[in-house]
Structure formats: structure tokens, C-alpha cells
Chain A
Amino acid sequence: MTEFIQQLINGLAWGSIYALIALGYTMVYGILRLINFAHGEVYMIGAMTGYYAVHWGMGTGSLYHLLAVICIAMLVCSLLGWAIERAAYRPMRQAPRLNVLITAIGVSLFLQFSGQYIFGADPKPFPALIENKNVLDLHGVVLSNIQVTIFVSSIVLMLGLRYIVFNTQMGKAMRAVSYDHTASYLVGINVNRVISFTFILGSALAGAAGILVGLSNPTVNPLMGLMPGIKAFIAAVLGGIGNIPGALIGGLIMGVAETMVSGYLSGTYRDALAFIILIIILVVRPQGLLGKSTQEKV
């Protein structure tokens, strides 16, 4: 039982990182009907930003340093997300969806391999931004301060996202654009601006996820975005792509399932599991857990 609860906690921590990445997939899909395969690379750039920020003189050790690094990574990633949309997807706005999808894969590969060229292919040790301590030890169930940080940051970011999407004019415009582009620009919404804004929001979340992963993973490398990117995408599909609460639930389920499998079966099944989930969900419930054909999409 102790082990089970421990695995659950580890899984939820890992899952909230997936959820942060999945939110970016789901928002972009909601608004453009595009799977932005470059999203995993944005997350990689987030982690790299963290590495270089510390490498080039940011201090470590306190919560303030951690917050500062997260903010820098979010900033860099939102710029990157904006630039990707501007340079790669906007010229393809009128093109068939398959072309845009292939563009997305191209951007993803471009970022992976220019990452290898610029940063070097070797894994880099991610600096310990905060010292790993156990804050809670209950009959063998351990909760570390890193896990607490991951939980708190993802909850804060998701609540912030929720607030922006549901309470501000920009969020309302996002929901309007995701429903009907034509009607949106005919009531005076600058659709391109809303799309840029969506990319900025999603990429900022991925940037934060990159730092949070760096906290629990010892190394970062230019190809690290590939698997988490695909898994977060599967998490978004699992929850119902285009659906914000769906991305959250999908991410958490994905994280828990992975930890359980590697804990009770074997670590080698870990990556296979994601694809098994994808196959099952596409066969049994292609619209995802929370998705309906008439569901509100952002």
C-alpha cells in the first residue's frame, strides 16, 4: 500500500508536467485544428534556457532563483512559440491541413537538430535549482520539496490559464475564434493576433514544464523534447483534444499509468504504454474522455 501511494504521488508529479505540455497542444489544436508537433521542442528549449541561465551566472539554491529561472524560460519559450507561428504556420494559413501538419514535423526536426548543432548532442547536467529535501515522511510515503514545487507551480499556472481563458476579453476571443474564424473577424477580432496569443500562452506553459522536468531529471539534451512531446500529445488526445480540462486529466492519467507500469512491471514497458493508451483510446473513444463532438474547444 505504501508503495502504491508513493507511486501515485510520483505519477501525479510527472503527470502534471505532461499536463502542462498537453495544454499547449490542446489550445493550438482548438484554435487552428493543427497538431503542433514542434511543441515538444519548445519544452526542450525551456529546459535548455534553464541550464544556460544558471550556467551564465544565475544563482541557485533559493526559491527566488527558481522562480526567476521559470520566468526566464517562460519568456524565452513564448517568444519562440510566437516566432514559430509567425514564420512557419502563418504563411500556411490557407493551405490544406496536411501541409501544415508536415510543416509542424519539419519545424520539430529543425529545432531538434539545430539544438544538437548549437548546444551539442551530449546530455548536460541540469543544475540543482533547489536542494532536494523530503518535506513529508508518512509511514514511508515520501513527498519531496521538488514534488511540492512541481505540484504548486503547475496548479498556479493552470489556474492562471483558466482565468485568462474564461475571464478576460482575450480568452473570450480565443474561444470565439476556435468556434468560428469568419464570424470572429467580422465582429472585429484580429484573428491572427489571437492565434499568436494562443501560441504564446501554450509555449510559456511548455517552458515552465521544461524547468520543472529539469528539477527531477538529472540531465537535459536537445532530443529530450521528442518523447515527452509525443506523450503529452497522447495525453491531450486521451482527454479529448481541444478540451482544456481534458488535457489536465489526460496528463495526470498518463503520468500515473507510466509510473505504475515502471514500478510494478518493468521500466522497459514505459514508453510502449503511451502508445497502447493511444491505440485503445482511438479504438474505444476517439473523441477522448471529455471530448464531445459539440464540446467547447479552445
Chain B
Amino acid sequence: MNNPLLKVENCGIQFGGLKALDGLDFSLNSGELLGVIGPNGAGKTTFFNLLTGVYLPTDGSLFFKSNLLNQLKPHQINQLGISRTFQNIRLFLNLSVLDNVCIAFHQHIQYSLWDVICHRKKYIEEEKQIKAKALELLERFHLHETKNELAKNLSYGDQRRLEMVRALATRPQLLLLDEPAAGMNPTEKKELIELIRHLHQELNLAIILIEHDMSVMMQLCPRIIVLDYGVVIAEGTPEYIRQHPAVIKAYLGEKKDAKSL
């Protein structure tokens, strides 16, 4: 039996008296696409922060490719192969589009300061390679024409895509997308769905997707987890989730309350 790519065992985090996440327990196989939904404040982004090492879990353990993540630093987790985007775009707005992508290759550089000072071949070749790879990625996402623009001058949709390119440039096996469709118009959403599907199928990338837009979720994710107040209240196919009484309750409130309004 294959080990799952990601294994979350009874994981939780507490901020003071508040249990932001509690008893999270599931696993994800490589190449799987998982959706996470839940009302605001349910702990979805906290879950990503746990996975990427921004927060340390107070209970339970996280395994990625059989490595325990609990004690690792965020950049080490990234180097293992987990990469993410942010709910609010966090690009390096003061750098050019190309540099934003080049930075993501940082962990793979081999040359030292000494090679730079002596202007050795090793350094020149490596810089060239990084640039070429970054350009290739940008081209695939149709961002290469803006490569010399500062990231802050891009349109919102392009910034979202650039953030995905940057996440991909770290060569992840698991990509975490935090509300990638937020603020996009229907055309952009459609393109985004195509893009995610394409990434998932062609690169065989495992993806966890947080999204509020149910239509996006229904089209993309064969499996969805629903969080509410830090606990998983339902898990299953989109159809199952849509019918699930606990999910309806979490989103719409109890029937009695709804009527009394």
C-alpha cells in the first residue's frame, strides 16, 4: 500500500482559549484535488498556515512524504515540496515580474558569493538557467510580455496568476491555493478553472483548494471537506456535501431560525 502524500493526524491549534482547528484527520494522495470550504472564520486559512509552517500545531502531527512537518521551518517545508498562494495577494510588489519568479528558485542555487566575485562560469550559467526556466513558466501562463514590469503594475487577475507561477516555480508536489477565484469575473473564473485542471492533470500535482465559489468547487473537486468552527463537519463528493444537513446548517442557520426571520 502506498503512503499518502500528506497525512494529517488528529491535528489542532489553539490560540489562547480559542481552538482554531481541532481534531483534523485526513490524508491526501499524490495527484489528488481536494476542496476545503467553510463559513468565514472556520479555520481554512489557519489550516494552510499549519501546513506551511507559519503556525505550529499545538496537537497532533502532520506528515508530508513521511516527513514530520511539526518541527520544520517554513522554508524547509517549502523545500520539501509544499507551496502556496495567499488569500490577499502577497507578491514582492517592488520587484519585476521576472524577479518574482526567479526568487522562487532561490532554494536551488548552488553558486556561492565567491563564484559571483570571481564571475565564475558556474554562476553565470546558473543565473542563465534560472532566467530561462522562469521565462518558460511565465510564457505558459501568458505573463511573459509583462516580464519587466513591476509586479505592482499588473492587473488583479495577472497578479493572482503571477502568484501561482511563483508558487509553481518552487517545484511543489502539493500546491495550496487560498481563494484563487476571489474577486474574479466569470470569464477569469472560467480561465482559472481550466488552468487548475491543466496543472492538476499535466503536472500530476496534488492541490488543496480553498474557495467560496461553490460552482468552481463543484466543477473541480471530486472530494470536499467542510470546516466549521475548526472542526470537519462533512467530507465527501460535491453532491453529498450539498445535501448534507450539517453543511446547510452551517451556511444557512437552522430552519427554525430561518423561518422566524
Which residues of A are interface residues toward B (Cβ below 8 A)? 160, 163-164, 167-170, 172-173, 175-176, 179-180, 182-191, 197, 294, 296-297
Contacts and interface: CB of A to CB of B under 8 A. Distances in A.
B239 to A, nearest CB: 34
Interface stretch (B3-11, B98-106, B179-187, B205-213): B98-106
Given A169-B102, A186-B83, A189-B75, 17 more contacts: A168-B127, A172-B103, A173-B103, A175-B95, A176-B92, A184-B103, A185-B75, A187-B78, A187-B170, A188-B78, A188-B106, A188-B107, A189-B103, A190-B73, A190-B107, A197-B113, A297-B94
A182 B85 CA distance: 12
Interface string B147-173: 000000000000000000011011000
A187 to B, nearest CB: 5
Centre residue among A170, A183, A186 by max chain B CB count within 10 A? A186
Nearest to B172: A188
B103 A179 contact: no
Contacts of A184: 103
B84 interface: yes
B106 A173 contact: yes
A182 B90 contact: yes
Interface string B65-87: 00000000111001100011010
B92 A179 contact: yes
Contacts of B103: 169, 172-173, 176, 184, 187, 189
B130 interface: yes
Prevailing SS type, chain A contact patch: helix
Interface in B41-78: 52, 54, 73-75, 78
B93 interface: yes
A172 B102 contact: yes
Contacts of A187: 78, 83, 103-104, 106, 166-167, 169-170
Contact of A189 (B52, B54, B107, B123): B107
A6 to B, nearest CB: 36
A180 B95 contact: no
Contacts of B252: none
Contacts of A179: 92-95
Given A186-B84, A189-B103, A170 B113 contact: yes
B205 to A, nearest CB: 16
B127 A191 contact: no
B109 interface: yes
B214 interface: no
A184 B91 CA distance: 9
A106 B95 CA distance: 35
B127 A183 contact: no
Given A175-B92, A179-B93, A191-B75, A169 B105 contact: yes
A169 B129 CA distance: 12
B: contact size bracket:
20 to 34
Interface in B106-134: 106-107, 109, 113, 116-117, 123, 127, 130
Given A169-B127, A176-B95, A185 B73 contact: yes
Contact of B99 (A163, A172, A186, A297): A172
A183 B113 CA distance: 24
Contact of B74 (A173, A186, A294, A297): A186
Nearest to B85: A186
A172 B106 CA distance: 9
Given A182-B90, A188-B107, A164 B116 contact: yes
A183 B170 contact: no
Contacts of A294: 94
Contacts of B166: 187
Contact of A185 (B74, B86, B94, B130): B74
B102 A183 contact: no
17 contacts: A168-B116, A169-B127, A170-B116, A175-B99, A183-B92, A186-B74, A186-B78, A187-B167, A188-B75, A188-B78, A188-B79, A188-B83, A189-B106, A189-B107, A191-B75, A197-B113, A297-B94
Contacts of B127: 167-169
Contacts of B109: 169-170
- 7 closest pairs, A vs B, by CB? A188-B107, A188-B78, A183-B90, A185-B74, A296-B94, A185-B75, A187-B104
Contact of A190 (B75, B104, B116): B75
A294 B153 CA distance: 13
A200 to B, nearest CB: 8
B246 to A, nearest CB: 33
Nearest to A180: B90
Contacts of A191: 75
Contacts of B99: 172, 175
A163 B123 CA distance: 13
B93 A188 contact: no
A191 to B, nearest CB: 7
B126 to A, nearest CB: 8
Nearest to B150: A296
A188 B82 CA distance: 10
